[in-house]
Amino acid sequence: RTTLFTTEHDELPVGRCYFNHSTTVLHSLLENKTANEVAFPVTPYEYISNLPSLQNLNIQVDIPEHTRNGPDRKNCRIKKVASTMSLDNTSSLLNELKAKFEAGDVVGGKETLSKLKIAMLEFPSDSEPHMKVAAEALEIGILLTVEDGDLDAFARNVAQIKPLYAVLKTTPRKCHILGLNLMNLLVENRLSEFHAELELLTEEEAANTFVTFPINLERRLMVGIYDEVLTVTVPDPSFQFFVDNLLQTVRDSIADCVEVSYKNMKISDAMTMMKFDSQHELLEYIEECRDDWIVEADTLCFQPPPSGSKASDIPSMKLISQSLSYATEMERIV
């Protein structure tokens, strides 16, 4: 809500001929984001307050009582004060977002979230109540993106909420969101960022169930305890989306090990090792991700890995001779 207020200036009789001029100047002030103050004759309060364009912009006109009506109107200076969205309006949008989230209306929830994000552009940077509304809206937005499977939107919302967490320190859903972000980093195998996020956690946050879950998963992955990774019990249904995606990461790691450890393997053994429920699922995986594997009857044949450089390929004697030559030259110079 943009608040306008007036301060008295030199007296000047005002007639209806000034109405259009006043309206033009007022709109100019609103549209010009660099102009913060402009002087013009005050028109009757009811006329300004009832302008349709001002109502559409959700503007509150605040004019001193003695200047609103009557013959003693003065030429006033109108200033544009910091534009702030009414908490009542944003709270109603937030309640609408909560209702749609609880009802499982992902599409409707994302539409409401878009309206809230537009309103957030007008939030003052130092108002804690506005920050709490913005944080709660983004937290619900993150949960909606998980339910929708939209990882790009998930990453954007997480990036937007981090500055708010730095100021607010804690919210009811903060640890939940931090845990989901860690799961996303783990699924995408961005381990350096995963550990960087861990360094930013407080002791209390690091001990939270939502945060310890991805930490324990990462430890199991590092030591190769894949059976425990794939049979975990999630702390909240929203984590199941990432656990399902983590299964693909685990299968890729197993496949990388299998193809360099064996020349061939029975399909039934590969199904067991890679946690496939049917042969059809395994063959689909091979077709999509391992097109260099050869299927012969009930056996998988793996291509030999490309041979790397051998120790004999390194020109060691030549390098030693060059190093001794450089040392001799340096000694002569000194």
pLDDT band at 56, cuts 50/70/90? very low
Q: What ranges in the chain are assigned the alpha helix state H?
A: 19-31, 45-49, 52-56, 65-68, 87-102, 106-120, 128-148, 151-168, 174-187, 191-199, 203-206, 209-223, 226-230, 240-261, 267-273, 279-289, 316-333
75-80 vs 2-8, strand pairing mode: antiparallel
d(CA 314, CA 62): 83
d(CA 180, CA 154): 10
Structure confidence by residue, pLDDT tens digits, 28-44: 544 544 444 444 444 44
Report the percentage of the chain scoring pLDDT > 90.
Answer: 35
Residue 307, amino acid: S
93, 133 Cβ separation under 8 angstroms: no
Q: Which residues contact 77 (CB under 8 A, 6 or more apart)?
A: 6, 7, 9, 37, 38, 39
Across 294-306, average pLDDT:
79
Enter the DSSP assignment of 142. Answer: H
Report the DSSP beta bridge partners of residue 75. Answer: 41
Q: Which of 18, 69, 27, 19 is nearest to 45 (CA)?
A: 69
Structure confidence by residue, pLDDT tens digits, 212-244: 999 999 998 888 888 788 778 899 999 999 998
213, 179 Cβ separation under 8 angstroms: yes
Structure confidence by residue, pLDDT tens digits, 108-120: 999 999 999 998 8
**Whole-Å CA distances, 320 to 311, 313, 317:** 15, 15, 5
Structure confidence by residue, pLDDT tens digits, 261-273: 888 889 888 888 8
Alpha carbon of residue 300 to chain centroid: 42
299-301 vs 294-296, strand pairing mode: antiparallel
Asked if residue 195 has pLDDT above 50, the reply is yes
